[in-house]
Structure 1
Amino acid sequence: MSKINEITIKIVEKWLRKGNMARCLRNVLPYTRLSLRERERIARAMHSIARWKRWYDFLIDYYELERSARTYVELATNKLKVDFEEAEKALPEEKRLAIRYSFSDYISGILEKNFPELIDYLNREPLTTLCVNLNKISREEAMDTLAEEGFKSKPLKLPTAILTEPIARYSSLIKEGKAHVQDEASQLVAKITSSLGRKILDYCAGTGGKTLAMASITRNVAKLYAYDIDKTKLDILKQRASLYKAKVKVIYKLGKTFDVVLVDAPCSGVGVARRNPEAKYIDKKTCEEFAEKQLSILEEASKRVKKDKYLVYSVCTFTPKETTEVVDKFIARFDFELYKIEHEGIKNGFTSLPEGDIFFIAIFKRAK
């Protein structure tokens, strides 16, 4: 058995015990002495196992295979030959889509009813998108750097977005603050937000993905403020902003009001299931819990919006509980009206980009 397979099996064993695939990869891969491309092969295999786990579980039961890490790895790498067509015929009709495409019953029901075009899309292995820091480098220069380092790339629709290989996460562009990894849909949310006013608060800033994107998109013209309940993340954001040469004021205590407040709220993450396949198995109860939290965050963030100005709500999910139902409840309870979004790449409130994740965005305008 190759060293790569041995390590992959070790990580799968850990994941089956503890969950959280990304953490399992972080805890093992950096210490393997493998090349970056070898590590990427392992990461792809792990993504495949998580992506198709419900289908693999069915195959294991149907063919009475050993339920072991090795079996999952052999299924994911096509080393274990099984007859998919025969197994598909044995699928229970009421769960056919959920099992064959590996979604929770809840998510498969939403997809089948509202988003059938996403069923295949969410099971594709994505490439990586970078957000170029236009305050330090042009997109063309960034692509030249990637080419010099041996990475393929191409420009996407947004002027800050480059599609490239996953391994380009290790490019000098990232280390030098000339770009950061960020899906084009996320960049689109930042672009729309930054178009609504000059004084902007990123209310759930985290470590600053959208904050840095807005600094790049506006060429540091916007007055950007970043806040998060997690102060450790804000400390990281401050360091990133310095490296990025981004004009961002990190605030640890709220008091001011703003032209635009962005709430990129915690969510189920099923809209980014191509990158985080574990999100495919989220259940209704969890989404309901997220929705309660999202509405609460919107209520607090709304206090920071000036009269006649804007509150932007975004989540990387498409469940009704976390999107349209949150919007309806917020409008019913608070003195805001829904502001119509007319922007290329947005359809019925959802991002629609050929290479992008699925985000939901709603804009509320505060009454005068």
Structure 2
Amino acid sequence: MEQEIAYNILLAYFKEGSYLNITLNKALTPDMDRHMKNRITRIVYGTLQNALLLEYQLKKFVKKVKVSEKTILLIGLYEHYFMDIPDYAIVDELVNLAKKVKGIRTASFINAVLRNAFQSEINLEGLSEDEQLALRTSHPLWLVKVFKKQYGEMETIKILEADNQVPLRSGRVNTLVISRKELLEEDEHFQKGNLSEDGVLYEGGNIAATDAFKKGKVTIQDESSQMVARLLNPDEGSEVLDMCGAPGSKTTHLAALMHNTGHIDVYDLYRHKEKLIQDNIKRLHVTNITTHTADSTTLKDTLDKQYDAILLDGPCSGLGVLARKPEIKYHDSSAMDEIIPLQAKLLENAYYLLKNGGKMVYSTCTLNKKENEKQIENFIHRHPDMEVLEERTILPYQYHSDGFYMCLMRKR
């Protein structure tokens, strides 16, 4: 049953480009036990994380295959090479699945290909070092070359390997309601985090299903992401702007750091995302935030005010969150360059909306230095009255967290 559910999720992704996390969350129903949910999640994410390597191996045995058949075969290869499951059990379950969804002829085909493939080890000899690294970690060659140019070979290997690990279930304690010490004493499944002083790790399944989450004592947020609000660290009573706020994790963290004082205006481009922010505000007992739906690339033309502190967590290529969203690494490389002008436009708006003496943080969940250090270098060149106070990149292997870039600046 787990394989059939995983198959349907992956098939929707391969055929329609569906959002993997949304499809997966809908498929994991409350009546499933934790073991079943964990196995489905591992098959789905593991197959997609290793898709390039698995497809390379599959091409040795079949040149042309329909997407439905290919999905079943990739699951089988993933289970064979990466999971502790007997080969006969993998073949038996997937042949039965093929028979159910496609018929007896497809089942016979799946049986023959898997039995043949399971006799062969993965061999990358004859390929260049970069090609071997790209296939071994299932990252596109262009991305391997980008990371090697920007971070060097050893760091790149660590980043790529971290992208294929199972992400931790990370949360942030809502200090408006409870301290981390109190939460750890209240629920033994929560443990102290690796990075953030507000961070916790959960070992009991889905954080969103806990009473602590429902009562607003904790929210789901990666620990690297939690460092962004702490870097801005707005003063109590200050006027704050969050330009790209959905789903509100960083915005509500700012509110907690301000102890619900002052005021925060938070914007997002889409109404349905503004609703997500409002839901989090209500659940987390926040009282100093006003939500807005608007295009933040035009705010300087529509707002008649300036702010003490601004958070710009910009749209980006997402190359720091590949462990959580493996589908991103298969996006076309051109998408990365298209987003850079948008980030620059948002930074221009932030500059004009920031008071003299005010501070701002620009952050992204990507590791591409063109969107990060180079973007800030160009911004400072345009506005010499902005000074960098602190700049930090968190790589995904360092704390078993998302990769993040953040830069704190002040307007002189």
Quickly name the TM-score band, shorter chain normalised: 0.7 to 0.9
- The 3 A distance-change label for structure 1 pair 286 and 247 is same
Partner of residue 75 from structure 1, selected from 74, 77, 89: 77
Task: Identify the residue that residue 207 of structure 1 maps to in structure 2.
Answer: 247
1:312-350 Cα shifts (integer Å, max 9, x gaps): 110000112211221122222235423131xxxxxx630
Q: Pick closer, same or farther for the CA change 1:105–1:234 going to 2, 3 Å.
A: same
Q: Distance in 1 between matches of 2:2 and 2:291?
A: 45
Asked whether the 8 Å contact 1:335–1:366 carries over to 2, the reply is no
Give distance in 2, aligned partners of 1:222 and 1:74: 55
> Which residue in 2 is equivalent to 1:351?
394
Q: 1:159 to 1:86 in 2, by over 3 A?
A: closer
Render the CA deviation track for 1:3-33: whole Å, top value 9, x for unaligned: 1111111222222101232233244334x95
Question: What TM-score results when the alignment is normalised by the length of structure 1?
Answer: 0.87
SS at match of 1:340: strand
Partner of 1:186: 225
Structure 2 residue 374 is the aligned partner of structure 1 residue 295: no
How big is the shift at 1:186? Answer: 0.5
CA deviation after TM superposition for structure 1 residue 195, in Å: 4.8
CA-CA distance at 1:251 after TM superposition: 4.1
**Corresponding residue number in structure 2 for 1:100:** 136
Q: Are residues 1:111 and 2:156 paired?
A: no
In the TM superposition, what is the alpha-carbon distance from 1:277 to its structure 2 partner?
A: 1.0
Matches within 5 A, 1:254-333: 254-333=303-382
Q: Which residue of 1 aligns with 2:109?
A: none
Aligned residue pairs total 355
Q: Structure 1 residues 77 and 305, CA, compared in 2 at 3 Å: closer, same or farther? A: same
Matches of 2:288 and 2:52 in 1, distance apart? 44
Determine if contact 2:317/2:336 at 8 Å carries over to the other structure: yes
- Say if 1:242 and 1:217 are closer, same or farther in 2 by CA, change over 3 A: same
CA drift of 1:196 comes to: 6.8
CA contact (8 A) 1:312 1:363 kept: yes
- Select which of 150, 163, 172 maps to 1:131: 172
The reply on whether 1:338 has 2:387 as its aligned counterpart is yes
Structure 2 counterparts to residues 166-177 of structure 1, below 5 A: 166-177=205-216
Q: Following TM superposition, by how much is the alpha carbon of 1:62 offset from its aligned partner in structure 2, in angstroms?
A: 2.5
- Cα deviation code 1:35-72 (max 9, x no counterpart): 35422321221111111111111111134386521111
- Does the CA-based 8 Å contact 1:154-1:163 persist in structure 2? yes
Gaps spanning 5+ residues in structure 2: where?
Answer: 81-89, 91-113, 295-302
Q: 2:271 matched to which residue of 1?
A: 231
Provide closer, same or farther for how the CA distance between residues 207 and 155 of structure 1 changes in structure 2, counting only shifts above 3 A: closer
Amino acid at match of 1:29: L
Determine whether 1:64 maps to 2:50: no
Distance 1:77 1:86, change over 3 A: closer
Judging changes above 3 Å, is the alpha-carbon distance between structure 1 residues 76 and 185 closer, same or farther for their aligned structure 2 residues? same
Greater mean alpha carbon deviation, residues 271-280 or residues 70-79: 70-79
Structure 1 pair 144–77 and aligned structure 2 pair: CA distance change class (3 A): farther
Q: Distance in 1 between matches of 2:61 and 2:262?
A: 59
